[in-house]
Amino acid sequence: MLSSKQRANLRSQAMELSPIFYIGKLGITDEIINQLENAINARELIKIGVQEACDYDAREAADIIAPKLGAEVVAVIGRKFVLFRRSKDPKKRVIEFD
């Protein structure tokens, strides 16, 4: 569970990120989940966009995807959302908190 200070830190870092995946008219597929799993393993913090053709809004998509990845929803802004999951290997951690 993230503290409010950690969440604010992650939100500020996410401002500089571009979405690396978009959820489209096919919705949330196993392929998307696998790709997101690989991305979050490598980056810890990822931004995802939801296209207008998708049946889900950003909050719904975040609430479906986050538990599947074991991630936390950091922010939902418009048609984008940010997920965070700490790397299990301390040597591969990209984001450090004070």
Residue 98 maps to a domain:
no
Residue 28 maps to a domain:
yes
Mean pLDDT of 23-51: 95
pLDDT tier, 92 (very low <50, low <70, confident <90, very high otherwise): confident
- What whole-number distance in Å separates Cα of residue 61 and Cα of residue 48? 9
pLDDT digits (tens, 9 = 90+) for 8-34: 999 999 999 999 999 999 999 999 999
Residue 59 maps to a domain:
yes
Q: Residue 31 to residues 55, 83, 95: CA-CA distances in angstroms?
A: 17, 18, 26
> Is 80 exceeded by the pLDDT of residue 97?
no
Residue 49 maps to a domain:
yes
Residue 94 maps to a domain:
no
- In 3D space, the residue among 73, 23, 78 whose CA is nearest the CA of residue 53 turns out to be 23
Residue 23 maps to a domain:
yes
Residue 33 maps to a domain:
yes
Q: Any idea what the CATH number is for the domain that residue 70 is in? A: 3.30.110.60
- What whole-number distance in Å separates Cα of residue 38 and Cα of residue 12? 23
Residue 8 maps to a domain:
yes
Q: For the chain, how many structural domains are there in total?
A: 1
- In 3D space, the residue among 84, 1, 71, 2 whose CA is nearest the CA of residue 43 turns out to be 84
What is the value of pTM for the model shown? 0.93
pLDDT tier, 98 (very low <50, low <70, confident <90, very high otherwise): low
Domain range holding 32? 4-87
